[in-house]
A and B are shown apart, each in its own frame.
Chain A
Amino acid sequence: GDSVTQMEGPVTLSEEAFLTINCTYTATGYPSLFWYVQYPGEGLQLLLKATKADDKGSNKGFEATYRKETTSFHLEKGSVQVSDSAVYFCALSDTGANSKLTFGKGITLSVRP
């Protein structure tokens, strides 16, 4: 079945550091790929998405490119802020009728001033 693998965490960075969070996936079809973020005390929010190979999703300075050849969707940001501290989940949605999401385990990012 479909699966998503995220790098092990947690990750602690200093403000303005470069961020990469790795995500790879296994899927039988051509899934859509997502990054969701969960800020402390809040619900899951969509951060960005990509629906086909070579698409780049971007939002709030974060970017991720759908790489079919490496089955990856790594999240990057050039300069993190303290306010980026949150849990980040990589997810995929199959192209079937139900569009259910399969999530990775999530990774906690802490950014220190």
Chain B
Amino acid sequence: DTGVSQDPRHKITKRGQNVTFRCDPISEHNRLYWYRQTLGQGPEFLTYFQNEAQLEKSRLLSDRFSAERPKGSFSTLEIQRTEQGDSAMYLCASSRVSQNTEAFFGQGTRLTVV
């Protein structure tokens, strides 16, 4: 088990372009979370999945953002028509379905919109 894997690690894109990030959780984990972290701030919750179902979305997740977890394994986060304010570190985490269980984080994808 290599932990939570995110790809790419870095992405530079021009404003207005679409970008997609991938997260591969720990294999037996059925919960998957996306967070966004801007400079000098802690991570902020965006959305989470239990298996393939997206069960909650933060109000931070505008209509330009969409996340999927089609087979309950890996997940993708797409940002359409990127804006400079989207520049941030996007973190993925996974955990088992159990109260108070530990969430394991990936190293993140750093997005820079120029």
A-to-B contact residues, CB < 8 Å = 4, 32, 36, 42-46, 49, 51, 89, 91, 93, 95, 97-106
Which listed segment binds A: B13-21, B41-49, B65-73?
B41-49
Give me 16 other A-B pairs in contact (C-beta within 8 A), A97-B55, A101-B43 excluded: A4-B42, A32-B100, A43-B108, A44-B93, A44-B105, A45-B105, A46-B103, A89-B42, A99-B31, A99-B95, A99-B99, A100-B45, A101-B45, A103-B42, A103-B44, A106-B42
Q: Which 8 A-B pairs have the closest CB atoms?
A: A103-B42, A44-B105, A43-B107, A100-B45, A43-B105, A51-B100, A32-B100, A46-B102
Q: Is B106 located at the chain interface by the 8 A CB criterion?
A: yes
B-to-A contact residues, CB < 8 Å = 3-4, 31, 33, 35, 40-45, 48, 55-56, 91, 93, 95, 99-108
